[in-house]
Structure formats: structure tokens, C-alpha cells
Amino acid sequence: MDSALIPKGVKRCPFGLFLVWIGILQIPFLIGVIAYLVCWGLALNQTYLNNNYPFGLWIAADLGIIALGGGAFFTAFLRYIIKIDELKNIVNFATVIGVMCYAAALGILAVDIGQPLRGWHIFWHANVHSMLTEVAFCISCYFTVLLIEYLPLVLENREINKFGFPRSFAHHLHEAMPAIAAIGVFLSFFHQGSLGGVPSVLYGRPFAYREGFLVWPWTFFLFILSAMACGPCFTILITRITETFAKKQLVKRNVIDILAKISGWLLGGYLVLKIIDTISWGVSLAPSVGAPAGSFYANQPYGWWVLITEVGILGIIPCIILLSTRARQNQPLLILACLLNCAGIFMNRWIMSVQTLAVPVMSFDKFFSYHPNWAEWASTLMWVWLSAIVISISYRYLPIFPQEKELNPL
């Protein structure tokens, strides 16, 4: 039925089956839409957020999703600026993933703020000294860059590409891509870093506060590095999930291996700096405000296990796997490493946003626990389902994987 739209030389599942798949994804997606409407209509009392936890799942997810979406800018950086040519076989897919990650980040912010209709105030009345302003400007600009990077893929659809103007436009966009990618890299460095600055400029919160270089706290640089380390792993993970559903190989293993290896080295570098940062915080910054480092880990569920899990299980283990050639080429191990790496980033972002608020600062302040409720979960996960829908449609109708024909001859 839709065979005219499917790229030449590749096989896709029957249209009916595809519709069933999209239909299934729409069910949890619609639950997310209901959660959005409930939060917008009845206000944020519909969540478990409160005055002690003004930031919760939404902000942690935002920070995490943007780090995972870092695969788009970093792959583009390696492909167009460092000129690792093999990565042309995965950069398109990294862009699609990036588009959805950033759409999710903006979409989640739209429900997180108390007055969504005033969201434009962040631009209009911008406080240039606030990390959040820098984040908002850079994310919006970078989302535009990602859409521009995604545009030629859409224009290369078989039917659209028949027309002269879209074909030529896509061609010229491809030519301009290194320049556009460079702008994207510039923006990404700043907003990934600024996200690290969001909790770390809060000098009233000694758990997250860090000193740094000029206006940027040390976590500014840690966040950039960690996004570069986990973004490619997320791209690998989603590629492998797509391959599982498509029941065929879409990208050659050497391409995946390059990304995994780079990711491993960056993760290693990040972990070294993270450990130095944590130790220096523990021995100098925390005691300087009158609290031993242990007091910040005194309240369950945020005990020492949090730090050990984040750095050890979700950091050092995937790093070792990714750095070892033999382990990396073992596919189940590679998937495990990617999963651990991505989970580690999410955990780090949760710690930096939610645990920061969980730790009582005043001695007579009580510790309260927080967990998200259904509305927060549904509205956050809605973006997972929407992303699955967009990726499914993009995979079906757009030439995203250049190696697909070669790997799967008809």
C-alpha cells in the first residue's frame, strides 16, 4: 500500500503490521497525553513534587535525556569535523535520536513549569547570569540545528526526492552540513556544560555546589565529558534495539566498534575527573561549610551505595568493557556496557538534581523522601513511545541506514 514511499532496494514489514505496531505504541502514548492534560488543566498538585522537591523526575529526566541525546552532536562532530568517514553510516540515525531527545527535553520542560503559557519569559526577560537561561537558549537553538540536520533525510524520501527543488535543497544542505554541525557542536558544548552548572552554582546547596573556572563550575566540564561518553553508547543501544525489531543488521560492526571505543576512552577520562572532583569536594568543600562528607549520605535511600553504584557499577564496569577490544566485540557484553553507561548517566543526573534537594541543609530541617507519581512517569515515558513512533516511521520511509542494502541484499 505504501510501497512507493519505501526506499528502493530495502524490505519493510507489511503495511498492516506496521499500523498495528504504531497502534500499540499509541496506547501508552495516549496515557502520557492524558497526564499532560491533567497537569496543565489541574496544575502541578497532580504530581508528587512539593516545596522540598521543586525538582523531581522531570528535571532529572531532562538532564539525562539531553546527555543521551549528546550522541547526535558528538557523532556529528566526529563525522564532519574530525572526519571519521565510517561514521557516515550511523550519523543519520544519531540525528533522528537527537531530534527526539531534544524534543522530549523541551516537551518535558513545558509541563514542568508552573505557567507554561509564560515559557517565553525565559527568552524575553532573560537573565544572562542564570545557567538555566543559557540552557534554554542553547537547547532551543540546537533543536533547530537538529531539525535542519534531519530535514535532508526527509527530503530524500523516494517520493519527495522526485521533485527537483527538494532534491537540490537536500543536496545543498548536505554540502553545508559541516558548518551546521560545527554550530551544533558549539551550542552543545555550552548547554551540556550549563546543565552541569544548573545544580553546581547553588552555593546554598553544599552537596551540589562546586567551584570552578571563571563562571563555570567544575561540573560544567564533567557534564560535557559525560554526555560525550554516554551519547554514543545510547546511539549504539537504540541501533541494536532497532535491529532487533527490524530483524536484520543495519550498521556494520566496525562502525559500532569505533563509537564504543571512543565512548570507552571518554568514559575513562570522565571517571578519573569525577573521582578527583568527588574527593576534593569531600575533603575540602564539604568540611568548609561545616558538614563532613558522610552527613550528605546519611539519609536513606541516599546512602553511600548511591556513589558506589554510580561510579563503580555504572561507571568503571562499562568503562572496562568498552576499553577491552575482546569484551567490546562480544555483543551481549557490549549491550550490557551501553546499558550500564546510560543508566549511570541517568543516575548521575538524578543525584545532581534530586539528591541535591533531598539533603537537608538546616540542622532542624527534616529529611523527606520523594518518588514520582503516575502523572510524572506517564508524561515522561510518553516521549519514549513518541520517539519509538518517530523512529519507526523514519526507518520505514527514509534512507537512514546507508549500509542496509549492502548488508541485506534482496
Partner 1 sequence: MFPFIFDWVSDASHFVFMGTLYAVMGLLVIALHYCGIRAFFDWLCKKGQHEH
Partner 2 sequence: MKEEHGHRPGKKTYKYGMVIDLDKCTGCGACMVACMAENNISFRKDETNKLVSNFWMRVYKITNGRSFPDTDVCYIPRPCMHCEGHGHHHHTPCVSVCPACATDYDHETGIVSQIYTRCFGCRYCMAACPYHARVFNWWDPSWPKGMEKYLSPDVSPRMRGVVEKCTFCHHRLQRARNKTYSEGRREIREDEYQTACTQACPAGAITFGDLKNPEHKVHKLVEEGKKKKIAFRLLEKLGTNPKVYYVSTKDWVQKAADVYLGEEGKPVTHA
The footprint of partner 1 (CB under 8 A) covers 123-126, 128-129, 134, 137, 141, 144-145, 148, 164-166, 168-169, 171-173, 175-176, 179-180, 183, 186-187
Cα gap 264→341, rounded to integer Å: 10
Residue 249 interacts with which of partner 1, partner 2, none, CB < 5 to 8 Å by class? none
Residue 113 interacts with which of partner 2, partner 1, none, CB < 5 to 8 Å by class? partner 2
Residue 34 interacts with which of partner 1, partner 2, none, CB < 5 to 8 Å by class? none
DSSP classification of residue 352 = I
Q: Which is nearer to partner 2, 118 or 253 (CB)?
A: 118
Q: Which is nearer to partner 1, 11 or 172 (CB)?
A: 172
The residues of the shown chain that bind partner 2, judged by CB under 8 A, are: 43-45, 49-55, 112-116, 118-119, 121-122, 124-133, 136, 198-199, 201-206, 288-292, 294-295, 297-299, 303-304, 356-357, 359-368
Min CB(148)–partner 1 separation in Å? 7
Structural contact between residues 272 and 327, judged by C-beta atoms closer than 8 angstroms: no
Cell of 155: 527530503
CA dihedral 258, 261, 262, 265 (to 10 degrees): -170
Cell of 351: 543525584
Cα gap 256→240, rounded to integer Å: 10
Cα gap 69→102, rounded to integer Å: 7
Q: Which is nearer to partner 1, 144 or 324 (CB)?
A: 144
Q: Which is nearer to partner 1, 164 or 204 (CB)?
A: 164
Min CB(137)–partner 2 separation in Å? 10
Cα gap 184→145, rounded to integer Å: 6
Residue 205 interacts with which of partner 1, partner 2, none, CB < 5 to 8 Å by class? partner 2
Min CB(223)–partner 1 separation in Å? 19
Cα gap 402→250, rounded to integer Å: 8
Vertex 187: Cα angle to 186 and 190 (nearest 5): 90
Q: Which is nearer to partner 1, 30 or 176 (CB)?
A: 176
Q: Which is nearer to partner 1, 190 or 281 (CB)?
A: 190
Residue 165 interacts with which of partner 2, partner 1, none, CB < 5 to 8 Å by class? partner 1
Min CB(78)–partner 2 separation in Å? 32
Quick one: which H or E segment has residue 212?
A: strand 212-213
Residue 187 interacts with which of partner 1, partner 2, none, CB < 5 to 8 Å by class? partner 1
Min CB(212)–partner 1 separation in Å? 17
Min CB(128)–partner 1 separation in Å? 4
Residue 145 interacts with which of partner 2, partner 1, none, CB < 5 to 8 Å by class? partner 1
Min CB(186)–partner 1 separation in Å? 7
Cα gap 251→235, rounded to integer Å: 11
SS3 88: helix
Cα gap 233→237, rounded to integer Å: 6
Residue 330 interacts with which of partner 2, partner 1, none, CB < 5 to 8 Å by class? none
SS3 227: helix
CA dihedral 324, 66, 102, 65 (to 10 degrees): 80
Min CB(192)–partner 2 separation in Å? 17
Residue 44 interacts with which of partner 1, partner 2, none, CB < 5 to 8 Å by class? partner 2
Q: Which is nearer to partner 1, 143 or 395 (CB)?
A: 143
Q: Which is nearer to partner 1, 122 or 322 (CB)?
A: 122
Vertex 338: Cα angle to 23 and 82 (nearest 5): 105
Min CB(116)–partner 1 separation in Å? 19
Residues ≥6 apart with Cβ < 8 Å to 280: none
> How far are the Cα atoms of 82, 317, 368, 373 from residue 403, in angstroms, in the given order?
21, 31, 52, 43
Strand-pair partners of 58: none
Q: Which is nearer to partner 2, 249 or 295 (CB)?
A: 295
Structural contact between residues 106 and 98, judged by C-beta atoms closer than 8 angstroms: no
Cα gap 235→139, rounded to integer Å: 19
